[in-house]
Amino acid sequence: MPRSELFPPIDPYESGTLAVDEIHTLYWEQAGNPRGVPVLFLHGGPGAGASPTHRRFFDPAHYRIVVIDQRGAGRSTPLGETRNNTTELLVADLETLRRRLEIERWLVFGGSWGSTLSLAYAQTHPERCLGLILRGIFLMRKAEIDWFLYSMRTLFPEAWAAFAGHIPPDERGDLLEAYWKRLTSPDSMVRMAAARAWSVYEGSCSSLLPSPELIAASGEDNHALGLARIEAHYFRSNRFQPEDKLLRDLHRIRHLPATIVQGRYDVVCPVVTADELHRAWPEADYRIVPDAGHSAMEPGIRAALVQATERFKQYR
């Protein structure tokens, strides 16, 4: 039977920080087999940060598991910092870390925004990739951002009412700018209240069935601040040019083995985007989980991702 559960908890065998400019210092860690096949885990958001659970998608006897918290996220500092924070710089950071760790090529694994960054990195440095495992596809296009800001209320009207209700009625025509004003307020209480409202909204819409644990974690101060500020910043300022760049540049990576895992009832990153990616990249192995939403921790998504990492053991 194919494995469907996460691997047991594991501690890093090495961790450190990487100063990438005069503002940002990034947290990174390695776990598993130091002589194993390198795999890079890219967290979502942008701004969500990685957790110890994320190491558990990979067999620690086979993989050299590399985790990094991106600029402004998780254990990287300063938390929520938007200066010098662009997709191009995140891609460059990954190359800096790869060279620092003396890794020739690695498998790239990312979900949600992590799928976006995985594609951007792979298309920039295809020669450094063994393959890709992608979940909950997000391509950073205006329609996807508008869906998040306004149209998720189609299925989660209560969560959206709380999200929009944090903003006065006369500002709700542009929720992104209204939130941005509050997320960048000089008043820390205003910033945190807006960050919690944004992050809890996303967490409330991220699972097929209600998850009090996920919603509670979404409201935690550090997670909420990093997620909300960096997401709003990227939604405002870091679109791709042209907008469909990640689809246009697939020719650079179509030779690489890839698996796409998508929840049928993913509301945060709807299945239509994964379908577009698969139609443009038919060589990729496409797995729709019929009873799952967005979260990587839903049972069906979790099982599909573990099975993908097991199948990728054939690539070195």
Asked about 266 being catalytic, the answer comes back as yes
- Are residues 77 and 67 in contact, defined by beta-carbon separation less than 8 angstroms? no
What is the Cα–Cα distance from 43 to 73, expressed in whole angstroms?
9
Q: Per the omega criterion (within 30 degrees of 0), is the bond before 78 cis?
A: yes
DSSP string, 58-123: S-TTTEEEEEEPPTTSTTSBSTT--TT--HHHHHHHHHHHHHHTT-S-EEEEEETHHHHHHHHHHH
Please name the residue that has the structure tokens 């598993």. 32
Q: CA distances (Å), 230 to each of 20, 45, 145, 162, 289, in order?
A: 17, 8, 14, 21, 29
Q: Kindly tell me the burial class for residue 192, based on how many C-beta atoms sit within 10 Å of its own C-beta (0-12, 13-18, 19 or more).
A: middle
Q: Pick the catalytic residue: 24, 211, 294, 295?
A: 294
Asked about 112 being catalytic, the answer comes back as yes
Asked about 146 being catalytic, the answer comes back as no
What is the Cα–Cα distance from 74 to 77, expressed in whole angstroms?
8
What is the Cα–Cα distance from 174 to 78, expressed in whole angstroms?
28
What is the Cα–Cα distance from 106 to 118, expressed in whole angstroms?
12
Q: Pick the catalytic residue: 59, 76, 112, 218?
A: 112
- Are residues 205 and 159 in contact, defined by beta-carbon separation less than 8 angstroms? yes
Q: Pick the catalytic residue: 69, 199, 266, 295?
A: 266
- Chain-centroid distance, C-alpha 101: 22
User: Catalytic residue numbers?
Assistant: 112, 266, 294
